[in-house]
A = this chain, B = another copy of it.
Amino acid sequence: VPAHLRKISESTVRRLSLYLRALEALAEEGERTASSEELARRVGTTAPQVRKDLSTFGSFGKRGLGYPIPPLVSRLRDILGLSRPWSVALIGAGRIGSALHAYPAFRERGFRIIRIFDDDPGKIGERWGETVIQDAADLEEEARRAEIEIAIVAVPAEAAQAVAERAARAGVRAILNFAPARLDLPAGVVVNDVNLAMELEALSYALGSDDSEGRAT
């Protein structure tokens, strides 16, 4: 098996995303090269971890010098699927939807929110930037027509399964789910859950149990 075709684990992929951000920042600062040590520091991991991660898809570094930033950035973009834009629909035009729609990092990375759906008659027809909020009843037809590839689900938990199913029927192949609900979808549809309450609970757990010892993280 050629080294650069080995399976990349979930956690490695997440770190690649962090490396990419760090490398872009370094490039901005005028650096041409970055060591695994420097990357590790910026991303909060260890140097061997960085080298292992980067070596899973080929050898890019120059020994004695470090990693040349521009080619590594473009390789990471390729691997992460960022070398072409994605057509994204936002389902749910509430507060979370609004925050996501305005989130600069999305468009910078090529995630183009070209459709917005909601079922609130008071919101349908409203314009957000370039996009007009459409009736969620038309989701399936409209998402198919617009060739939406990724849907962001930002609706209440009760509505999430239904809208996700309709997105899937419209050909959507990946869903970023902010609803605190498990989505049950046909194989082939990738789901990534973001559970904000869980993130806070991880903190209250850490605070609650640190009476005994002084460790962080």
Which A residues are within 8 Å of any B CB, using their own CB?
Answer: 8, 10, 13-14, 16-18, 21, 42-44, 79-82, 86, 94-96, 98-100, 102-103, 105-106, 109, 111, 149-150, 173-176, 180, 182, 187-192, 194-210, 214, 216-217
Cross-interface CB contact of A81 among B21, B100, B188, B205, cutoff 8 Å: B205
Contacts A95-B102, A98-B95, A216-B187: A109 and B203 contacting too (C-beta < 8 A)? no
Q: What residues of chain B lie closer than 8 Å to A98, measured between beta carbons? A: 95, 98-99
A197 engages B106 (CB within 8 Å): yes
With contacts A14-B198, A82-B201, A217-B190 taken as known, whether A149 is within 8 angstroms of B111 at the C-beta atoms is: no
Report the copy number of this chain in the oligomer: 2
Q: Across the interface, do B150 and A202 meet the contact criterion of CB distance under 8 Å?
A: no
- A100-B196, A105-B197, A216-B190 known; A150 vs B17 contact (CB < 8 Å): no
Task: Write out the residue numbers on chain B whose beta carbons fall within 8 Å of the beta carbon of A189.
Answer: 216
State the Cβ distance, A108 to closest chain B Cβ, in Å.
8
Q: Which residue of B lies closest to A13 (CB)?
A: B205
Known: A81-B205, A95-B103, A190-B210; 5 extra A-B contacts, CB below 8 A, are: A21-B197, A80-B205, A96-B103, A176-B200, A187-B214
Closest-by-CB residue of B relative to A111 is: B200
| Residues of B contacting A109 in the complex (Cβ-Cβ under 8 angstroms) | 197, 200-201
A-B contact pairs, 12 of them (CB 8 A): A42-B182, A79-B208, A80-B208, A81-B201, A86-B207, A95-B95, A96-B103, A175-B203, A176-B200, A187-B214, A189-B216, A190-B210
Residues of B contacting A42 in the complex (Cβ-Cβ under 8 angstroms): 182
Chain B residues with CB under 8 A of A196 = 100, 103, 105-106, 194
Bound Cα distance A180, B106 (Å): 12
Cβ contacts under 8 Å, A209 to chain B: 79, 81
